[in-house]
Structure 1
Amino acid sequence: MRQRNKPWAKEKMNQYPQYVIANPEQHKGKWSEVFDKNQPLHIEIGTGKGRFITGMAKSNPHINYLGIELADSVIVSALEKLIDEELPNVKLLNVNAEDLEKYFAKSDVDRVYLNFSDPWPKYRHAKRRLTFESFLRIYENILVDAGEIHFKTDNQGLFEYSLTSFSKYGLLLTYVNLDLHQSDFEGNIMTEYEEKFSQKGNRIYRCEVKYQNKK
């Protein structure tokens, strides 16, 4: 979906360094110093306009959250939510997911959320999918041992591809839901896309996977 360009977005982000972390490489291995409390750190890759990450932060004050989004014109909407909410356990990173190892050391992150990622449906674009093998390796290198990925999408093709990708990589599948909104799953925080797609009648798929210690 094409996003409206916001040429003022970068300047606004620079005005709120308490929310949008500049020079994140300086915090590699010591992210606890960015937050008020030393707590487990969960990251959302592709945080969009921030509805999920702010909702999770309000529901789980005992966890720190980082929303990661590359598009200036999108992440600035998440920033506006943080300005309104004043949540101490949420920060934002305006960076590319391909570069996460520049900003995080091993065991910096306890959980990764992937919500409604771009499906990149063409075969030649498979390497761009956030559940492709190269990204799974990046997550492994920044997560704690037995760290988790929680994944949601309305795209059946991407979900099936991702389950296969997880399995081939050796991840342990701990939860699968083929119709989230028709299930008894509790505590679901919807993203903007999730609300839009579900209102159209689209089925929402969700799974949780865990890295296994390699001998």
Structure 2
Amino acid sequence: MSTIFIEDHVVPQLFTSAIEAYEFLHKSPKGKGRDKLETFGLLWGYSIQPKGNQSAKIIASMATVETSATRHTHWVAPDYDSLRMKKEFFGAYWPNIELVGSFHSHPYENLAEVNSVTGWRASDGDKEFYPHFHKEIASEQDSLAHLIVTITQLERRGTAYPSRLANSEAERGYVLSADWRKIWLRAYGSEFDSDSGDYAFTDDVTLEIPSLERRFS
């Protein structure tokens, strides 16, 4: 198990990138543009190996958005050359910061659609992508964190204080409302499986964002 900590100033980076891709038209010279798109980015920070009875910790202190990613309403595909470039760039000039994971958004038309498909959860494609991303980009690391930022519009404006997800997902995510938006944050992981000798998807994580309730209460 890994405990994923998201530092305070990373939260607006996650939220605003998802909101921008959702609410604003992404135009091209030959097209009308589209909104309600997925977006993709990287998580940076540092990792702490397990000590005693404590689980491994992954601390995200920064997020960067992949502007070169191909975006769609139902999927997003990062450019792997861009991912490698950023990792090498950080390694050369900010060696105190390492790649610790990824994030992407799930946009939905309305709340009913999110609830009908439990849209805050990882898709089958996500579960396949996380180990592949880990193997291709950060094979030297035992564990990575992966966040899904799900967003939809509400029919009426309101504020719902941040709360944990229900039941077995309580330790793995949050949900909140802000103005006309409802946002979910759900954490997953990928790790090296010594038994198979390959990288694997895992749901055995805990997500901690200590500042979230203070900001949105």
Task: Tell me, yes or no, whether TM beats 0.5.
Answer: no
Give the TM-score taking structure 1 as reference length: 0.26
Greater helix share, structure number: 1
Give the TM-score taking structure 2 as reference length: 0.26
Greater strand share, structure number: 2
